[in-house]
Structures are given as C-alpha cells and as structure tokens.
Amino acid sequence: MYSYPLNGKSLELNAQKCTGCGLCTEVCPHEVFAFTDGVRTVHIADSDSCMECGACALNCPVNAIKVNRGVGCAAAVIGSLLGKKGECSCDSSTPCC
C-alpha cells in the first residue's frame, strides 16, 4: 500500500453532526470510513489510509468532516508521474479518484 505524507493526520469527524447518509463511505477511495455497528453514523476506520484528498469533506452535506486537502492529491499525482500503478490522480474538476 502507498504511504501518504500525513496519513490522515488532519482528518476530523464530528460524530454528533453525522446523519449517517454514507456519502463519505461512497466517495473515499481508500475506505477510511465505516458504519458503526448498531448506530446509523460513521467512524474513522483507518486514518492511516487517508490520502487527504478532501472528497469526504466536500461531499458531507452536514459538514461533519474536516481535512486539510491537497497533500494526498499532490502525492498521488507525483506517484502516478513516477509510474506507480494503481494511484489516483487529481484535477481541478474533481477532488480525487
């Protein structure tokens, strides 16, 4: 697995705001979020896999997620330019993957 510079260190989830819509689980390219058993909210299941692309925060309708986006996207673009297979690339029209 590719290691990202900050590995989700800026990722924050406010579980009190979470409505359980699940959009973060759908847009996250690395399955960082998962539903909490028996509760209709999500939790951060694997922050080390977070590339800080910002897709989760941009798609959260209640602003329950905060992340300093950009670092992971830059790492992914550089990785793809260096020929690393399976890495996503980012452009201005989509946050990532």
- For residue range 31-64, what is the model confidence (pLDDT) as tens digits? 999 998 877 889 999 988 888 888 999 999 999 9
| CA 10 – CA 50 distance, rounded (Å) | 9
- What architecture does CATH give domain 12-81? 2-Layer Sandwich (3.30)
Full-model pTM: 0.68
| CA 75 – CA 41 distance, rounded (Å) | 30
pLDDT tens for residues 1-37? Answer: 444 555 668 899 998 999 999 999 999 988 999 998 8
| CA 14 – CA 28 distance, rounded (Å) | 17
Domain boundaries, the chain: 12-81
Closest among 44, 20, 42, 12 to 30, alpha carbons compared:
44
